[in-house]
């Protein structure tokens, strides 16, 4: 029996360690938005699931905590996977489905293995410490005006802002919101020793500055509103009133000082009403209007998982000449991809969590039940987590933090631990596992391990070949690596496009065998169109390959025209349609398309500008000879 208890403890600590590794590593690897970070989450999650299965058999009296929120987690995961076959573009939908599967596994593992107070306290300490360390890095970036994230360079629109190990400062600010709320709650209302409380307090102040240097308006507003709710709550209790007022005054004074002194902050707020910049509020309104129209095209079921990005071109307004990738509003993004049914399931999960929180609070809030008010780590955790989620929900109106894997994992794990506190209100959510229960958990768990493991192996191999292609020094080596990547996963339209483009570029050099390579590029672009009929670059490059083959008439023209038909407000595509007519000698028609391209985008439109001037010269010379 002691051996079983020892092995049970080892499994529990192993699971906690692996989940903490996920929480720490995922933000360090650019927020896990790139494939490498996602693969780290992937394989560590499978290891966590395997340990949970082992723990079910070595535990003396295994049982499962099944709170009401679990039903909606399962329902949404099942609904998302049921929507996969109907998605117009399979690859991103499938990737989204596997992310949801990983998050579902993490939720149930965290719910049933991270509920003990010692582990919960460890999670809080690690998160607040990590947030403080990353905030120091963001402060350094802001002070030194560093454009780097590790060895990579940030895009120009994120320059002069702190983002720590994230590329986008807004998403880093979103990551900090939960640890900040936890830090404030544990500083004011926990039973930590004075030395630990001071340490957490200082770390929390660093996190506040970290959010400040991100210059994220959404994070400032959402954090400010959430902390106001927390301070108002604390000020209702005599024992917390003075510390809460002092903390609120300190943070308010710091915010006012920053607003007065930081010229960058003033410029960022001016951008809220400055049209034409990629980060201004008017651009987001345009995205929201387009997304709303997309949702209206399929209101109940949505377009399918991860379909906003590939299908956005059908609804693009001419003012937006960049790829938004997401809606910049998590609520509208959920409606667009999953419809009323999917968004409703997410909403029911949130309402169930809120109901459980209200039911739990009176059992964990020692201050409201004792004649002599006392601090409580449990109430500090529940309060901090709830306020942290409130901040994220406010922020979700203007950003897409829940679509960033590192932030999503943090939210999933913290929601699970928060839901586990319902056990203090009632024991009826515990389900004892007899032999039959352990067998069911093992079968389901092993099936998930195999299923996710096979896909993880495939994704890892594809990542290896794609990375090899990008680092290859010769065109032939790069092309060979792309071919291997496509063999691993023949559903990736971007890989098919990359192969076709490499062949087209090689053919364009006019060397030996160029005609054959141009013909082969046509085949790959056709594959890309089959896999993703909304990727207009395949149509344009296909038309250009046909030009290399001397087929400059209607055959190539229909592909350029199709690209413009799919995305009529894209200056790049309209300019290339003009190029098609220019190369075919149809200068009058070409001139109209170049002018239309410049109407859509008059700045940084080199193709239309160059060829329009050239077309005008040719037309003038033609008139002179008549």
Is there a domain that residue 250 lies in? Answer: yes
**pLDDT higher than 50, residue 274:** no
- What's the mean pLDDT in 6-24? 96
The CA distances from residue 563 to 3, 69, 314, 317, 508, in Å, are 67, 45, 11, 16, 21
**pLDDT higher than 50, residue 368:** no
Buried b / exposed e over 569-605, threshold 16 CB at 10 Å, is bbbbbbbbbbbbbbebeebebbbebbebbbebbeeeb
For residue 143, what are the contacts with CB-CB under 8 A and spacing of at least 6?
none
Residues 544 and 557 sit within 8 Å (Cβ to Cβ):
no
Is there a domain that residue 494 lies in? Answer: no
Is there a domain that residue 437 lies in? Answer: no
- What's the mean pLDDT in 326-337? 96
Band of pLDDT at residue 273, cut at 50, 70 and 90: very low
This prediction has a pTM of 0.93
Lowest mean pLDDT segment, chosen from 213-217, 263-267, 415-419, 564-568 = 263-267
Is there a domain that residue 359 lies in? Answer: no
pLDDT tens readout for residues 79-121: 999 999 989 999 999 999 999 999 999 999 999 999 999 999 9
Lowest mean pLDDT segment, chosen from 92-101, 399-408, 449-458, 616-625 = 616-625
Residues 59 and 429 sit within 8 Å (Cβ to Cβ):
no
Total domains present in the chain: 1
**pLDDT for position 33:** 96
- What's the mean pLDDT in 237-247? 73
What's the domain range around 265?
A: 115-278+373-397
- What's the mean pLDDT in 313-339? 92
- What's the mean pLDDT in 582-591? 93
pLDDT tens readout for residues 254-272: 666 555 555 555 555 554 4
- What's the mean pLDDT in 496-521? 93
Task: State the chain's maximal CA–CA distance in angstroms.
Answer: 103
For residue 194, what are the contacts with CB-CB under 8 A and spacing of at least 6?
none
Is there a domain that residue 29 lies in? Answer: no
- For the four alpha carbons of 369, 375, 381 and 383, in that order, the dihedral sign comes to positive
pLDDT tens readout for residues 154-168: 998 888 899 999 999
**pLDDT higher than 60, residue 373:** no
% the chain with pLDDT above 90: 76
Is there a domain that residue 274 lies in? Answer: yes
Average per-residue pLDDT for the chain? 91
**pLDDT higher than 50, residue 574:** yes
Cα separation, 337 vs 247, in Å, equals 41
Is there a domain that residue 389 lies in? Answer: yes
- What's the mean pLDDT in 603-614? 93
Highest average pLDDT, of 262-271, 303-312, 375-384, comes from 303-312
For residue 529, what are the contacts with CB-CB under 8 A and spacing of at least 6?
535, 538, 539, 542
Band of pLDDT at residue 370, cut at 50, 70 and 90: very low
Q: At what angle do helices 514-531 and 536-548 cross, to 10 degrees?
A: 160
Is there a domain that residue 82 lies in? Answer: no
**pLDDT for position 156:** 85
**pLDDT higher than 50, residue 482:** yes
Cα separation, 273 vs 285, in Å, equals 12
**pLDDT for position 253:** 66
pLDDT tens readout for residues 51-79: 999 999 998 888 999 999 999 999 999 99
**pLDDT higher than 50, residue 369:** no
Band of pLDDT at residue 622, cut at 50, 70 and 90: confident
Cα separation, 35 vs 48, in Å, equals 20
């Amino acid at each position: 029996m002691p051996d079983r208890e020892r092995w049970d403890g080892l499994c529990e600590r192993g699971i906690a360690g692996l989940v903490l590794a996920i929480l720490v590593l995922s933000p360090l690897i650019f927020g896990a938005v790139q494939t490498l970070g996602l693969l780290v989450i992937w394989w560590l999650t499978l290891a966590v699931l395997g340990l949970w299965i082992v723990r079910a058999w070595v535990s003396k009296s295994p049982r499962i905590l099944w709170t009401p929120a679990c039903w909606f987690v399962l329902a949404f995961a099942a609904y998302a996977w049921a929507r996969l076959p109907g998605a117009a573009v399979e690859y991103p939908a499938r990737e989204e489905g596997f992310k949801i599967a990983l998050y579902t596994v993490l939720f149930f593992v965290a719910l049933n293995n991270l509920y003990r107070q010692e582990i919960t306290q460890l999670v809080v300490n690690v998160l607040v410490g990590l947030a403080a360390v990353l905030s120091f890095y963001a402060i350094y970036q802001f002070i030194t005006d560093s454009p780097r994230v590790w060895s990579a360079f940030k895009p120009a629109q994120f320059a002069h802002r702190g983002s720590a190990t994230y590329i986008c400062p807004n998403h880093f600010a979103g990551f900090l919101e939960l640890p900040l709320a936890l830090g404030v709650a544990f500083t004011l209302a926990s039973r930590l020793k004075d030395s630990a409380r001071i340490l957490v307090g200082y770390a929390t102040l660093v996190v506040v500055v970290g959010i400040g240097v991100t210059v994220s308006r959404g994070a400032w507003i959402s954090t400010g509103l959430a902390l106001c709710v927390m301070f108002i709550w604390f000020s209702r209790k005599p024992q917390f009133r003075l510390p809460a007022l002092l903390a609120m005054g300190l943070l308010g004074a710091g915010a006012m000082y920053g607003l007065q002194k930081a010229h960058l902050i003033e410029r960022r707020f001016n951008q809220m009403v400055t049209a034409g910049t990629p980060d201004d509020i008017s651009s987001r309104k345009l995205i929201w209007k387009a997304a709303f129209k997309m949702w209206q095209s399929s209101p109940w079921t949505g377009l399918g998982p991860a379909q906003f990005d590939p299908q956005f071109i059908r609804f693009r307004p001419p003012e937006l000449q960049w790829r938004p990738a997401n809606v910049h509003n998590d609520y509208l993004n959920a409606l667009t991809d999953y419809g009323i049914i999917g968004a409703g399931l997410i909403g029911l999960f949130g309402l169930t969590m809120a109901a459980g929180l209200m039911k739990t609070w009176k059992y964990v809030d020692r201050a409201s039940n004792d004649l002599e008010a006392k601090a409580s780590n449990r109430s500090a955790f529940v309060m901090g987590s709830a306020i942290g989620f409130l901040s994220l929900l406010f922020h979700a109106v203007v950003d897409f933090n829940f679509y960033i894997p590192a932030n999503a994992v943090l939210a999933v794990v913290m929601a699970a631990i928060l839901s586990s506190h319902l056990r203090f209100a009632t024991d009826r959510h515990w389900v004892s596992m007899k032999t039959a229960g352990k067998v069911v958990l093992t079968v389901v768990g092993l099936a998930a391990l195999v299923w996710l493991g096979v896909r993880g192996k495939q994704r890892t191999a594809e990542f290896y070949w794609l990375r090899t292609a990008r680092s290859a020094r010769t065109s032939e080596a790069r092309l060979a690596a792309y071919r291997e990547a496509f063999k691993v996963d023949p559903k990736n339209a971007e890989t098919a496009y990359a192969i076709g483009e490499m062949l087209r570029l090689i053919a364009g050099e006019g060397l030996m065998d160029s005609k054959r390579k141009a013909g082969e590029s046509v085949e790959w672009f056709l594959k890309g169109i089959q896999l993703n009929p909304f990727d207009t670059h395949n149509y344009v490059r296909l038309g250009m390959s046909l030009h290399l083959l001397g087929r400059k008439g209607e055959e190539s023209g229909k592909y350029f025209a199709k690209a413009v038909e799919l995305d009529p407000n894209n200056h790049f595509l309209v300019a290339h349609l003009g190029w098609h007519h220019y190369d075919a000698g149809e200068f009058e028609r070409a001139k109209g398309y170049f002018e239309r391209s410049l109407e859509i985008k008059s700045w940084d439109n080199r193709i239309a500008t160059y060829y329009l001037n050239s077309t005008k010269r040719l037309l003038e010379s033609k008139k002179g000879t008549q």
